[in-house]
Amino acid sequence: MAFDLPGLDYDYAALEPHIDARTMEIHHTKHHQTYVTKLNAAIAGGEWDGKSIEDIMANVSKLPAVVRNNGGGHYNHTLFWKVMSPEGEGEPEGKLLEGIIEGFGSFDGFKEQFTNVAINQFGSGWAWLIQAGGILRITSTPNQDNPLMDLAEVKGLPILGIDVWEHAYYLKYQNRRNDYVGAFWNVINWDEVAKRMK
């Protein structure tokens, strides 16, 4: 079973003005599609063909770099599209909010820490909110790595992630990553983030 480019639950313009339609279209149909195509080519006919993306991530240290890079790209972007929504904004509730308060003192404290990690990730990469050992933590990864990978410095279950590669924001924000990260808070689908908790 080959991997497929997942459809979006909203159209490319739905996240305007925070994330522009042209960036969304290129990001989804070009960048993500390329990760899917290269991942499928790399595993076709081998022992990892037909395995879940989670299984591949958990064993990625045994696999070629092309699988790490493109498998990570596919997993990361699939999560990214889901944790955004035109009905974003607001704050989380229930168990997710309780976990955030327990881990970071307050929602504002969490927001500040997550923003700082995202802005200060050197070069291309991702910032994550993960669940690890029953608690919520913030971490970052370079390139298309993620905390599910067996070689990640900080391992855990990703429940929220922001892509801080320049292709995610450059058309609208140029080099102003801080403005893009600030805009991201207006499109977070907190219900989806909460659903990812175990």
- 136-165 residues labelled b (16+ CB within 10 A) or e (exposed): bbbbbbebbbbbbbeebeebbbbbbbbbbb
pLDDT of residue 169: 98
Residue 4 covered by a domain: no
Mean pLDDT, the chain, rounded, equals: 97
Helices (H), the chain: 21-26, 33-43, 53-58, 65-82, 94-104, 107-120, 170-173, 177-184, 190-195
The answer to whether the beta carbons of residues 88 and 188 sit under 8 Å apart is yes
The answer to whether the beta carbons of residues 107 and 100 sit under 8 Å apart is yes
State how many domains the chain has.
1
* DSSP one-letter string for 93-147: -HHHHHHHHHHHSSHHHHHHHHHHHHHH--SSEEEEEEEETTEEEEEEEETT--T
List the domain range (segments joined by +) for residue 113. 20-198
pLDDT of residue 187: 98
pLDDT tier at 170 (50, 70, 90 boundaries)? very high
pLDDT of residue 89: 74
Residue 11 covered by a domain: no
Domain with 102 in it: what CATH number?
3.55.40.20
Calculate mean pLDDT across residues 108-115.
Answer: 98
Residue 184 covered by a domain: yes
Residue 111 covered by a domain: yes
pLDDT of residue 30: 98
Range from 33-42, 87-96, 183-192 carrying the lowest mean pLDDT: 87-96
Tell me the per-residue pLDDT of 77-98, one tens digit each, with 9 for 90 and over: 999 999 999 999 789 999 999 9
Distance CA 7, CA 148 (A): 23
Calculate mean pLDDT across residues 153-181.
Answer: 98
Distance CA 126, CA 148 (A): 13
pLDDT of residue 86: 97
pLDDT tier at 21 (50, 70, 90 boundaries)? very high
Tell me the per-residue pLDDT of 120-159, one tens digit each, with 9 for 90 and over: 999 999 999 999 999 999 999 999 999 999 999 999 999 9
Residue 10 covered by a domain: no
Distance CA 55, CA 51 (A): 6
Distance CA 106, CA 25 (A): 35
Residue 2 covered by a domain: no
Residue 39 above 90 pLDDT? yes
Residue 122 covered by a domain: yes
CB neighbours of residue 80 within 10 Å: 19
Residue 159 covered by a domain: yes
